[in-house]
Structure 1
Amino acid sequence: MVEQPLDRETLLDIIVNAVPFAILVIFILLFTIVTPWGPRFGEENTLPTLIMYGHLLFTTLVLVVVTYVSAKYISRDEP
């Protein structure tokens, strides 16, 4: 029988990363919808906006990769 790559125990071990992921997604959506402090893309001085989105998207990507790699290692090491 083929073993499931992400079984129940593995999902319970990596579910702790769901909260930071949800927080990052909420911030990305809020900063996209509501920009209270100034220019948006296409206007003058968009560098702070690009840096902000870069930090948020990079952090989200790193969290997803780390969660995936940890799930693979956890599922591999379980008996």
Structure 2
Amino acid sequence: MSRRAFDAEVALDLAVNLIPFLIILFFVVLFAAFNPWGFSLLQSTLQFAILLLTAGLLALVTLIAARAIEGDEQTRRE
């Protein structure tokens, strides 16, 4: 019997990345709704680029880690 990709055990292992991801998304929404420094095209672009790039890289690293955990023979209990 083969395991389903990204089952509950793998999701639990990767849940530690959910909190930083949610914090980053919180700040994206917060800065989009209320920008305490005002709007400057360069500053706002850099600010959102840094936050969104960090969130994207975190999601990518989480996906790669999930595939590595899923492919590891020691974590399989068949």
TM-score band w.r.t. shorter chain: 0.7 to 0.9
Separation of aligned partners in 2, 1:28 and 1:37 = 14
Separation of aligned partners in 1, 2:6 and 2:49 = 30
Separation of aligned partners in 1, 2:54 and 2:47 = 11
- From 46, 61, 71, give the equivalent of 2:66: 71
Amino acid across the alignment from 2:62:
T
TM-score (norm 2): 0.88
Shift of 1:3: 2.3
Separation of aligned partners in 2, 1:33 and 1:10 = 34
State the match for 1:59 in structure 2.
Answer: 54
State the match for 1:48 in structure 2.
Answer: 43
| Ranges in structure 2 where 5+ consecutive residues have no aligned partner | none
Q: Deviations over 1:1-46 (max 9, x none)?
A: 442001121111100000000000100000000012112xxxxx41
Amino acid across the alignment from 1:21:
F
State the match for 1:5 in structure 2.
Answer: 5
| Ranges in structure 1 where 5+ consecutive residues have no aligned partner | 40-44
Runs of 4+ in structure 1 deviating by more than 4 angstroms, as ranges, are none
| RMSD (Å), alpha carbons | 1.1
Amino acid across the alignment from 1:58:
L
TM-score (norm 1): 0.87
Amino acid across the alignment from 2:44:
T
